[in-house]
Amino acid sequence: MIGLATKRIDWLMVFFILPIMAFGLFTMKSFVPAESGGNFFERQIIWIILSFIVFFIFSFIDFRFLKRTDTLVFLFIFFSAILLLLFVLGSVANGAQSWFDFGGFSFQPADMMKLILVLVLAKYFSRRHVEIRNIKHLFISGLYALVPFLLVLLQPDFGSAMIIFLIWFGMVLVSGISKRHLLLVFLGGTAIFVSMWFFVFADYQKDRITNFLNPLADIHGSGYNAFQSTIAVGSGEVTGKGLGFGTQSRLKFLPEPETDFIYAAYSEEWGFVGSVLVLVLFALVVWRILQNSLYGATNFEMLYGMGIAIFFMSHILINIGMNLGIMPISGIPLPFMSYGGSHLITEFAGLGILMSMRRYSRIAHRDDMKHEFLGA
């Protein structure tokens, strides 16, 4: 039985993930002093082991029960309540009350809520696939995303709120939204952004967005993180300074090089060649996720797989974008590389569910898929 289950696992995808995690571990070990570097390094190894355990356990579970509306409604309400509980019991870190601190480890519920949102939207769009061009489904699905979006934004966690929006927008897009409705989405998004600028965003978030337009305007203040990150990436040149020789991270000019800015720390040591290699590996992981989604037994499995791909692409683009100075600083971890257990376990849980769905996979012909998604 175990042998049959392991055959359903996409080992090629796992093969592409392993070197990404290894690069993250090498980088953590190289730039932090011995008295604390081993702490990050060893803790991350534990999180990786736990994440793989979750991945394999989830791969063996029959997740067809997730197609039940009552199950998804319960999960959605439960994690929404957890997000609300943060305002009472949550710990504040970097100005955001978005963590539960249990002493030895911390947990960020927003990570798991992103996965729940993918499942909820996959269920909603799969049942309304034929009539998806009706504009009412744009608003109804938007309400599902609006609840966690606002709860996360009020923490305030601007980065996770952006991910939630991109998950909703991406799944609306692949589900078959009419192209003439895209303009409405952009206009609505612009109106929401303007409203949040005046009534929701904290001063430091406004500084980050303003700094995005001109990152060198205040290199000793709001632009410090972006400035140091771009220096680290650029100083790596073609082949990098070598493992353990990244001055920006070792001398602590680069803030949080083990989490938000691990790509900049890695690029400084591995250079342009290493940076491109990681991007290629990420692209291959997303490719495998999309390949698995196209063989889903029903629209639900297919949309879930595409939602997971959007989940990873959003994290990758935002994190690497802010490391390169072309996106606002948002505190989003880089999948598989950044230090931390919350995001890593969520990532492998999402992939484990996808692997479980492979047991009911079907072979879809390209002609059958031609009009399956993206409305005219």
pLDDT tens column, 129-151: 556 666 777 778 888 898 999 88
> For residues 354 and 347, what is the distance between their CA atoms, to the nearest angstrom?
11
**Strands (E) located in the chain:** 91-93, 96-101, 106-107
Q: For residue 34, what pLDDT band results from cuts at 50, 70 and 90?
A: very low
Residues sharing a CB contact under 8 Å with residue 274, sequence separation 6 or more, in sequence order: 23, 236, 240, 266, 267
pLDDT higher than threshold 60 for residue 48:
yes
Coil/strand/helix, residue 96: strand
Can you tell me the mean pLDDT for 3-17? 79
Per the listing, tokens 């060198």 go with: 216
Coil/strand/helix, residue 211: helix
Q: Measuring CA to CA, how many Å separate 103 from each of 72, 99, 128?
A: 31, 12, 45
pLDDT higher than threshold 90 for residue 51:
yes
Q: What is the pLDDT of residue 368?
A: 45
The CA R_g of the chain, rounded to the nearest whole Å, is: 21
Can you tell me the mean pLDDT for 60-69? 84
Higher pLDDT, 196 or 317: 317
Q: How many residues appear in the chain? A: 376
Q: Which residues pair with residue 92 across a beta bridge?
A: 97
Of 91, 116, 150, nearest to 308 (Cα)? 116
> For residues 20 and 211, what is the distance between their CA atoms, to the nearest angstrom?
30
Query: Average pLDDT of the chain?
Result: 80
Q: What is the pLDDT of residue 120?
A: 92
Higher pLDDT, 130 or 277: 277
Can you tell me the mean pLDDT for 315-333? 84
> For residues 205 and 329, what is the distance between their CA atoms, to the nearest angstrom?
9
Tell whether omega for the bond before 109 is within 30 degrees of 0, i.e. cis.
Answer: no
